[in-house]
C-alpha cells in the first residue's frame, strides 16, 4: 500500500471504530512497525481535516490515541438529532462515582449510594460504560473505553478523575 491508501485506511478505521484508536492499533491495521510513519500519516490526515474546515476533526485524545469526531459547532447544532443513550439520573450519579473513585468495589459503592446501585451497575454494564471483575465476594468496578469515548475522556483512570475535579470547580 502507498501512503495515500494508508491514510485512507486510517481514516476508515477511525470512522468505524467505537473507541479512540491507539498508535499501536493503527500500526497493526497498516501492518507496519514504524511509529514514525504512522505519526506522519496521522499528522497529514489531521492537517487535511483542519484545512477543509468541514464538520469532522481528527483529535488526539491522549498521547498516541486518536479519534474522528464532529467539530464543536456541529455537535451544538445537531444535539437534537444525535442519538443519546438513555440513563436514569441515579445511574448517572452511580457512573460518576465509579468514574471518580475507580477502581471501586461494588460493596463500597452500595454503602455510598444504597442498594439501587446493583440495578445501575447492570444497566451501565449492558451499555458498555462499566467493566467489573470478581474480587473476593464482591466485584471491582471501573469505567470502560466506551465510557471514555462516549463522554470525551481519555481512557486513563487518573486523567478521568482529574477532569472530573476540573469540571466540578
pLDDT, tens only, 106-163: 999 999 888 888 889 988 888 888 998 999 998 999 998 888 877 777 777 888 888 8
CA distances from 68 to 58, 93, 155 (A): 5, 28, 16
Which ranges of 53-133 would DSSP assign to H, the alpha helix? 72-77, 89-101, 106-113, 117-126
| 3-77: CATH topology | Arc Repressor Mutant, subunit A (1.10.10)
Q: What is the spatial distance between Cα 112 and Cα 92, in angstroms, rounded to a whole number?
A: 14
Task: Express each pLDDT in 74-109 by its tens digit.
Answer: 777 776 776 666 778 888 899 999 998 988 999 999
The structural domains of the chain, with segments of one domain joined by +, span 3-77, 89-168
> What is the model's pLDDT at position 13?
92
Neighbours of 108 (CB within 10 A): 15
Task: Write the CA distances from 26 to 4, 31, 66, 136, 155, integer angstroms.
Answer: 15, 8, 9, 37, 17
Query: Please, are residues 54 and 73 in contact by the beta-carbon 8 Å criterion?
Result: no
Residues 6+ apart with CB under 8 A from 85: 127, 150
Residues 14 and 33: their CA atoms lie apart, in Å, by 19
> What does CATH list as the number for 89-168?
1.10.10.10
Give the model's pLDDT for residue 72.
Answer: 78
The reported pLDDT for the residue numbered 84 is 64
Question: Which runs of E-coded beta strand occur in 110-169?
Answer: 130-135, 138-143
Q: Do domains 3-77 and 89-168 have the same CATH topology?
A: yes
Amino acid at each position: 500500500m502507498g501512503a495515500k491508501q494508508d491514510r485512507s485506511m486510517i481514516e476508515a478505521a477511525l470512522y468505524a471504530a467505537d473507541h479512540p484508536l491507539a498508535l499501536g492499533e493503527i500500526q497493526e491495521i497498516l501492518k507496519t512497525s514504524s511509529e514514525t510513519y504512522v505519526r506522519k500519516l496521522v499528522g497529514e490526515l489531521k492537517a487535511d481535516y483542519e484545512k477543509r474546515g468541514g464538520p469532522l476533526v481528527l483529535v488526539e485524545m491522549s498521547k498516541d490515541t486518536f479519534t474522528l469526531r464532529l467539530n464543536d459547532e456541529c455537535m451544538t447544532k445537531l444535539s437534537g438529532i444525535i442519538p443519546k443513550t438513555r440513563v436514569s439520573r441515579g445511574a448517572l450519579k452511580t457512573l460518576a462515582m465509579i468514574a471518580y473513585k475507580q477502581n471501586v468495589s461494588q460493596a463500597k459503592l452500595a454503602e455510598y449510594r444504597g442498594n439501587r446501585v446493583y440495578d445501575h451497575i447492570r444497566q451501565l454494564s449492558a451499555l458498555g460504560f462499566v467493566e467489573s471483575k470478581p474480587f473476593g465476594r464482591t466485584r471491582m468496578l471501573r469505567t470502560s473505553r466506551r465510557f471514555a469515548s462516549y463522554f470525551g475522556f481519555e481512557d486513563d483512570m487518573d486523567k478521568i478523575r482529574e477532569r472530573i475535579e476540573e469540571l466540578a470547580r
